[in-house]
């Protein structure tokens, strides 16, 4: 990542806003500007934020400070978003950010489904930014990301296991769709009652990384043929596990296998919630380079298109690029 300061300026600008708008919809701007900067597009971040500015709301009010003694009772309380951000800001002023991540990752891991998985996704972007360069705006973004995760912490419970499949792609194919007619992410998540096992016996860290990489590839590829089930929400079946994958090298190795298992549940749950009745064969209108696909996504501007393209570029193969182009075709542009 070439640092020009534009990302830092954009993050400073965005930290005056809260992580949500219109009740509970996620503010995607910090994630998008990081993705743009990671792909050499720092010079365009302010223009994109200008287009997105109507979705930026004031930073939320504070309620009661989160502390080392009362944090458990504040976990999962969205009224405490500002309190949690303050807590992590204080903690990061006293401890290295990787130590903070190692302490809080296992505490938060089970609840990555809150905020429609944007909590873990924002953390993954913040971690990538800090691995590229550590400075004050990026540390502040990390505090905001962790605070959002803690405040929106939401586990998946009551899910029965089904027979598994040997590959990630086959396991995603085996995920049963929830009953039709359920409206809203939280209601849909509550309707997920069965998920197939996959990679549940993995405990070796290196194997966990390999299987998590396989899952990100499979979920990204699958979007090209299944994304029409819900073009916006099915993006997260790929971007949520990719956020976990991006964070592995910043975490102790003993956390890699639990991270794989949580990422599988997240990807499989989103797949169950928005699966289409049938897949479709998708052939891109043209064979484009990765740079050309990125340019199309940026010209389109939709936040989910940009973030899926970011993940597709990580995967890097032709089918992943096709998935990114499919998202461009199916999504409404940012205007």
Measured between alpha carbons, how far is 47 from 121 in angstroms, rounded to an integer? 23
pLDDT value at position 3?
56
Extract the residue ranges of the chain whose pLDDT is less than 50.
1-2
- Give residue-wise pLDDT tens across range 223-274: 999 999 999 999 999 999 999 999 999 999 999 999 999 999 999 999 999 9
Stated length of the chain = 335
The residue behind tokens 């990542």 is: 1
Measured between alpha carbons, how far is 86 from 68 in angstroms, rounded to an integer? 12
- pTM beyond 0.95: yes
Considering only CA atoms, which of 308, 314, 234, 221 is closest in space to residue 266? 234
């Amino acid at each position: 990542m070439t640092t020009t300061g534009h990302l830092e300026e954009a993050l400073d600008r965005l930290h005056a806003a809260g992580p949500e708008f219109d009740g509970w919809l996620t503010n995607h701007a910090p994630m998008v500007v990081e993705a743009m900067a990671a792909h050499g597009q720092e010079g365009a971040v302010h223009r994109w934020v200008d287009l997105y500015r109507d979705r930026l709301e004031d930073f939320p009010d504070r309620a009661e400070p989160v502390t080392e003694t009362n944090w458990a009772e504040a976990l999962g309380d969205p009224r405490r978003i500002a309190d949690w951000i303050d807590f992590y800001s204080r903690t990061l002023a006293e401890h290295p950010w990787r130590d903070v991540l190692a302490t809080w990752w296992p505490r938060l891991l089970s609840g990555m489904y809150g905020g429609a998985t944007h909590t873990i996704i924002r953390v993954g972007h913040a971690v990538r930014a800090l691995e590229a360069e550590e400075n004050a705006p990026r540390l502040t973004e990390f505090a905001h990301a962790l605070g959002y995760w803690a405040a929106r912490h939401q586990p998946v419970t009551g899910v029965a296991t089904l027979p598994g499949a040997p590959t990630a792609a086959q396991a995603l194919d085996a995920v049963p769709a929830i009953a039709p007619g359920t409206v809203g992410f939280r209601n849909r998540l509550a309707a997920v009652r069965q998920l197939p096992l996959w990679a549940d016996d993995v405990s070796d860290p290196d194997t966990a990384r390999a299987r998590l990489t396989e899952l990100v590839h499979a979920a990204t590829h699958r979007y090209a043929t299944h994304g029409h089930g819900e073009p916006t929400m099915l993006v997260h079946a790929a971007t949520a596990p990719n956020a976990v994958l991006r964070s592995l090298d910043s975490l102790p190795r003993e956390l890699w296998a639990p991270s794989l298992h949580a990422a599988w549940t997240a990807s499989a749950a989103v797949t169950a919630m928005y699966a289409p009745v049938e897949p479709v064969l998708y052939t891109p209108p043209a064979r484009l380079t990765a740079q050309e696909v990125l340019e199309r996504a940026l010209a389109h501007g939709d936040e989910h298109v940009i973030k899926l393209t970011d993940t597709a570029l990580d995967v890097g193969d032709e089918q992943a690029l096709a998935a990114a182009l499919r998202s461009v075709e199916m999504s409404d542009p940012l205007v």
